[in-house]
Amino acid sequence: MKRKVVHLTTTHARNEVRVFLKECTSLSVAGYDVYLIVADGLGPDTTSSGVHRLDIGKQSGRIQRMLIQPWRMLRAAFKIRADVYHLHEPELLLIALPLKWSGAKVVYDSHEDTPRAILSRDWINPFLRKLVSSTFELFENFVTCRISAVVGATPHISLRFSKINKQTVTVNNYPLQSELPDFEIPLRINRSLCYIGSISKSRGVFEMINAVDPLDAQLILAGWFESEQVELNAKKLNGWSKIDYRGTVNRSEVHEIMSRSSIGLVIFHPEPNHVNAQPNKLFEYMSARLPIIASDFPLWREVIEGNDCGICVNPMNPSAISEAINLLLTNPERVKKFGDNGYRAVQEKYNWGIEEQKLLTLYNELTK
């Protein structure tokens, strides 16, 4: 009989890349009976790629999502009676132990270093952030040392959890091999660059807009603004006239944007949760043969300069970003070289095929 697996997420879309396209789909193909409980309010319940998707409905407001949705998730999860429950948000740790007490295995998938991320959350009073961060870390450690396993999205995240849970594994968020282009891309001669993802002050939206302002270039911006105020302030900048804003886009639109661009940008601010992160967009740009201009963090420099696939810059300096953009736009041969090198690195080491095996090995251990 197939082992039942339930993945739970309160914030991710039902088609989200890591949760659905990678982890859930890989487990389904491997023979598990996979359920994905979401809270996007899009219903009805569906089955896609062998994964049964259930919607508990959307809650308005951050506090309601954090304090009410986990318990609604718990009720839906108990109805399935799974062998393994896999949690994708920090607030779902509230229900981790009740799920464990049901006799099931429980896995926490830590997508980011949440205690450090809290230190830069604008919606938390600056005077309270350290207290909230340290309190949450105590809670997170208390729960995760008592559950079956922890999955870290980066080696940095896994290192912290490995000290309190021996069954900790790194499953990097690398690109799907099925999405790698299997054809040679000629010299890119257009003057478009792109940023795809969550749009916020800390992810460099103002620096990117200011950097493109003096250039004969266009920045394709795709994703959701973290707040109405950030969007309003961004649109007030002179450089907004150089922006092609697409809003939230689907996977096919992501590929269309990258195919139309000559450069991919990842200009995150040097905040505690960023310097050791491995943004999925970094590797997606590489998989699309796009050269990268990214923040000059040691870990990112190791990937980008180590594979000779882009340029690292001071993310707080729009002039330095602008110079790097201009350097590439005026040198198509270097753009092609960087793009080909990045693509080769994804083929050889930064791909989901390698990470998938780590996930399946963990599940084999949990369900044997």
Boundaries of every domain in the chain:
4-174+351-367, 177-348
End-to-end Cα, the chain, rounded Å: 13
Mean pLDDT, the chain cut into blocks of 10 residues (368 residues total): 94 93 97 97 89 92 87 97 97 98 98 94 91 97 98 96 98 90 67 95 97 97 94 97 96 92 97 91 95 97 97 98 97 95 96 97 96
pLDDT at residue 184 in the model:
62
pLDDT at residue 187 in the model:
65
Class of domain 4-174+351-367: alpha beta
Q: How far is CA 56 from CA 15, 63, 79, in A?
A: 16, 17, 12
pLDDT at residue 178 in the model:
85
pLDDT at residue 121 in the model:
87
**Domain 177-348 grouped into CATH 3.40.50.2000:** yes
pLDDT digits (tens, 9 = 90+) for 84-134: 999 999 999 999 999 999 999 999 999 999 999 999 888 899 999 999 999
35 alpha-carbon distance from chain centroid: 21
Structure tokens at 147: 């559950």
Is there a common fold for 4-174+351-367 and 177-348?
A: yes
Evaluate the omega torsion of the peptide bond into residue 44 and state whether it is cis, within 30 degrees of 0: yes
Task: Find the helix or strand (DSSP H, E) in which 139 lies.
Answer: helix 129-144
Q: How far is CA 166 from CA 163, 193, 200, 289, in A?
A: 7, 43, 35, 37
